[in-house]
Amino acid sequence: MNLLERNMSIWTKRVGNLVAAVTIGFAAAPAAAEQLTFERYHQDPPLHGPTVQGPRVAPDGARVTYQRPREGNSDVLDLWQFEPESGEHSELLRAEALIGGTRKLSAEEKARLERERIRESGITHYSFSDTGEELLIPLGGSLFVYRFEDGSVFELSGGNARLDPKLSPGGKSVAFIQDRNLFLRDLAADKPVQLTFDGSDTIVNGLADFIAQEEMRRRYGFWWSPSGEQIAFIQYDESPVQVIERVAIGGDGATLIEQRYPLAGTDNVKVRVGVVTIATKAVTWADIGEDADIYIPRVDWDSSGNRVFVQLQPREQDRLLLLAVDPTTGKARTLLTETSATWINLHEDLKPLSDGGFLWTSERSGFNHVYLYEVDGRGAQPITAGEWLVDKIECVDEVGGTILFTGWLEDPRTRQLYRARLDGEEPSRPHLVTNQEGWHQISSAEDCSLYLDTYSSPEQPPQTALHDGSGERLAWLEENLLDENHPYAPYLNTHSLSEFGTLKAEDGAELYWRMIRPHDARPDGSYPAIIMVYGGPGAQTVRRNWGSLRDQVWADQGYIVFRLDNRGASRRGHAFEAQLHRRLGNVEVADQLAGLDFLKKLPYVQADRIGVSGWSYGGFMSAIMLAKAGDQIAAGFVGAPVTDWGLYDTHYTERYLDHPQDNAEGYELSSVLPFIDGIVSPLFLVHGMADDNVVFTNSTKFMQEMQRSNIPFELMTYPGETHFIRDRTARLHLDRSVLRFFDRHLLRDAH
C-alpha cells in the first residue's frame, strides 16, 4: 500500500462519510506529486481554501455577517452577509466604497492593529446595534453607519482618529474617544458632545492602555449602561511609566520613538473607574481603594444598570476581586475574591443574569469551571466540575435554564461545544452538542438560539456553518471541501497526515506531541527534524485541528516537523501550567529536551540533524535550548526573542516571575545571557527593527554578549517591521531565509 492509499484509508476510518469529499480531492489531484513551496504558500488563493472571518449572528437573528478575504488579494477584508431565510450570500461593503481609496492610519490605530495581531486591511472591525438594524464601521479614522432597512451608509462628520466607537443601546448615538477624551454623537443631529475634559499628554479617558491591550486582552476602556444614560470608563495616568527611547528603523531612515513602556519591576499606569451621566456630564468615581498600583482587567454592567462590576487585580496577580460599584455614589463592595499561590488567569466569563445573580468561571478546583452566584455574591453553586475544563461560556439561555460552553471532557487536544443546566443541585455531566472530533470555534447569539461553528480537524480545513441551539446544522457559510476545485488539490498527493502521541517528562508527566513526516518518507529512511517550539504559558500548539500548512511546506522540503506542549501550556489544568512559576526556561526546556530524546530514538530520524525553531517566547526557548543543550541540537532559528526578562513588560513578566525585587535569582536564571557560552551550534537570529512589544534591545543585547564571547551567529533584521511581520514579501523572505539556514546545517544535500 503506497502512502496515498494509506492516507486515504486512515482518513476513511477517521471521518467516515466525510471522507467522500476528501477522496474526490485525492482522486482528482495530479498523478505526479507537486511540491509545496513557500512561494506558493504566500500566494493567493490561500491554500487552506475559502474561509470566513469574524462571523457573527445579528442580535435580531435575521442575518449572519462575516469578513471575507478578497479574491485575488487575501490581505484585504470585505464585509458580507448571509440571510438564513433566503439562503443568500451577498457582499455588503468594501472599504473603497466608504472612503474612496486608502487613508493613512494614525499611530494609535496602527498600534491597535498590532495589539490585536491583525495583518489585513479593509474592513477589520464592525459592530451591530443592539436591535441588529445598523452596523457601525470604523475605517481610516472615520465612522460609518450602515442601515439594513434601505442599504444606506452615512459618515459621521468631525475629523479623524476617533477610536473605539460603540453604538448606544437603541442605536441612536455613538460614543468614541478623540484627543484622549470621551465624546458622544447623536446620529440624527450629528452633533458631538464632549463628556470628559481632562485628557492630556499623560491623562487618557476611555482607552485601554498598552498592558490592557497586550496582556489582559481588554480592548476597550468604556462601557454603555443598559439604559444608555450612563457610560462607565477607565481613566489612566501614564506619567509614572518610564519613557524608553526606541529607534524604529525603516528602509528610508530611522525614527527615534519615545515610548512609555512599563518594563518589569517599574511603575505602571495609575487607573481609576468613573461613571459619566450623559445628561449632566457629571462623573462619579468608583471607590476601589487606596492602592493605585493595581490592574483593572474587566468592567461590566449588571442587567439592571444599577451596578457596575469591576474586576480588580493587585500588582502581585495572586488575587482577583470582583467589586460591585454603585454608579450614583461610587461606593463599592467586594462580591468575591479568587486567590492562588501562583497567579490568577483572567477570563471573560462574568455573565450577569436578569435576577441580579451572575455566572463566573474559576480555576479554584485546579480546572476552570462555571459557578452560579446570587445577587450579593453568595451561593457559589458549581455548574460544572471534574478533571476537565471549560474554555468559555458562549451564551446563556435563561428561559431554558441552560448555558452553552466550549471546552473538553476527554481530550485536551480537542475543543467541543457542550450544554449544561443551571438548575441542578449538583453538577451533572454536560451534554455534547458538537459531534465532530477536532477543534470548534463558536460565535453565538446571546440567548443560545443560534450559533456559528468554525470547525477544523487534521483532515478538514476550516469550515463554518450556522446551527440552531440544539446543534442542528441550518446552513453552510463555507463548507470548504477538499474537492478537485480546492486550492490545495494540487498538493493532496504530497499531503502528510499528522501523527499524535504522548511521551513522559523526566518526572513522569504526560506530554502531548504532534508530528508530520515527508510524504514519501520510508520506514527505513533517515530524515532531519525540526522542533517547532513556542513553550510559553497560556498557549497550546498541539491541537487536533487543520494546523499550519507552513509545517507541510517543511515536510515537502524533506523535514520531519515536531511540536510538543511542555509544562506551562494551557488547557491542562492550572497545576500543569503553573510549574514554571518564578523560573522560566527551566521545566519548559527539560520537557522539550525529553521531546528531543524521543526524536533521536526514532529509527527514521537523523539524531545528529535535529534543529529548533521559534518566535517570540518560542524565540526565547530556541535560544535558551541552544544555550543549555547546544551540543545536542544541530542548529537553531531564534525569532524576536526575549533574552532578558527585565526588558519585557510588567503584567506578563511579573505574572510568572513575580517582581524583580522579590525574585532576583529567578530573573537571572530565566535569562538566556548567563548561559550564552553553551551556544556551540549554528544560530540564526531575526528581529523586526520597529518592534514595540519585544523591543529590539533584546536582540542587540544578545548580539553584544555573543560577540563578547566570540560566538558566531547569523543575523537578519526587517526594517519597518514590528513583532508581527505584516508585509507579505517580508514574510516570504523570512521563511525562505530560515529554510536556507536549516538546509545548510541539517540537510546533506542542500536545495
Catalytic residues: 616, 691, 723
Residue 495 · residue 33 · CB < 8 Å:
no
C-alpha distance from residue 466 to each of 63, 156, 479 (Å): 10, 33, 11
Q: Cis link prior to 712 (omega < 30° from 0)?
A: no
Letter for the amino acid at 698?
Answer: N
What are the backbone dihedrals phi and psi of residue 318, each rounded to the nearest 5 degrees, phi first?
-95, 5
Q: Which three cell numbers stand for residue 105?
A: 492610519
Instruction: Return the residue matching grid coordinates 452553552.
Output: 404
Whether residue 165 contacts residue 171, with contact meaning beta carbons closer than 8 Å, is answered with: no
Question: Whole-angstrom Cα distance, residue 182 to residue 234?
Answer: 10
CB 312 within 8 A of CB 295: yes
Q: Which three cell numbers stand for residue 372?
A: 452560579
Pairing of strands 121-122, 73-83: parallel
- Report which DSSP code applies to 638: E
Give CA–CA dist 638/617, Å, rounded: 10
Measure the CA angle with vertex 184, ends 179 and 190; round to 5°.
110
Please give the radius of gyration of the chain, using alpha carbons only, rounded to the nearest integer.
Answer: 26
318 C-beta neighbours (distance < 10 Å), count: 16
| Pairing mode of beta strands 88-93, 127-128 | unpaired
- Answer for the pair 134, 153: CB distance below 8 angstroms, yes or no: no
Cβ–Cβ < 8 Å for 699, 648: no
Comparing CA positions, the residue from 23, 10, 25 lying closest to residue 489 is 25
CB 354 within 8 A of CB 398: yes
Gap between the Cα atoms of 454 and 745, Å rounded: 40
Indicate the residue type of 668: E
CA 384 from chain centre, in angstroms, equals 25
CA distance 364 to 362: 5
The string of DSSP letters for 79-134 reads EEEEETTTTEEEEEE-HHHHHSS--PPPHHHHHHHHHTT---EES---EE-TTSSE
Contacts 24+ apart (CB under 8 A), 109-116: 109/141, 109/161, 109/163, 111/692, 112/163, 112/213, 112/219, 114/692, 114/693, 114/722, 114/723, 114/724, 115/210, 115/213, 115/214, 115/219, 116/213, 116/219
b/e map 683-711, b = 16+ CB within 10 Å? bbbbbbbbbbbbbbbbbebbbebbeeeeb
Cβ atoms 89, 81 nearer than 8 A: yes
